[in-house]
Amino acid sequence: MLILKTYINKRQIDEIWIHNTGEKLGKKYIYRLIEPNTDKEITSEHFNLRINHNRDKGWKPLAKKALELLERIKNGKYGKN
């Protein structure tokens, strides 16, 4: 599991957990976004929020994918270029 925390100075303002489901799609593992300290998956009624990621590439690309996905959902641009 990858835990991303966002701070302004010393005050935490957000946290997201990226959990490996244990499922694979080809060589990539499937990750889901969950709320901290719960097993509640962050969902969208219109979009699949799961992330496919090759673990060999490390945590930074996974974190980037998660943040970009959340930003696109927030701005209503999911699925658009």
The residues pairing with 2 across neighbouring beta strands, listed in sequence order, are 18
CA dihedral 38, 5, 21, 51 (to 10 degrees): 130
In which region does residue 9 sit, left (phi positive, over 0), alpha (psi from -120 to 50) or beta (all else)?
left
Q: For residues 16-26, give the mean pLDDT.
A: 93
Prediction pTM value: 0.78
Residue 70 burial (C-beta neighbours within 10 Å; 0-12, 13-18, 19+): middle
What are the residue boundaries of the structural domains of the chain, listed by start? 2-74
Q: What digits encode the pLDDT tens for the residues 30-74?
A: 999 988 888 788 777 666 678 999 999 999 999 999 988 888 777
**Cα–Cα separations (whole angstroms), residue 40 to 19, 26, 64, 80:** 11, 26, 21, 27
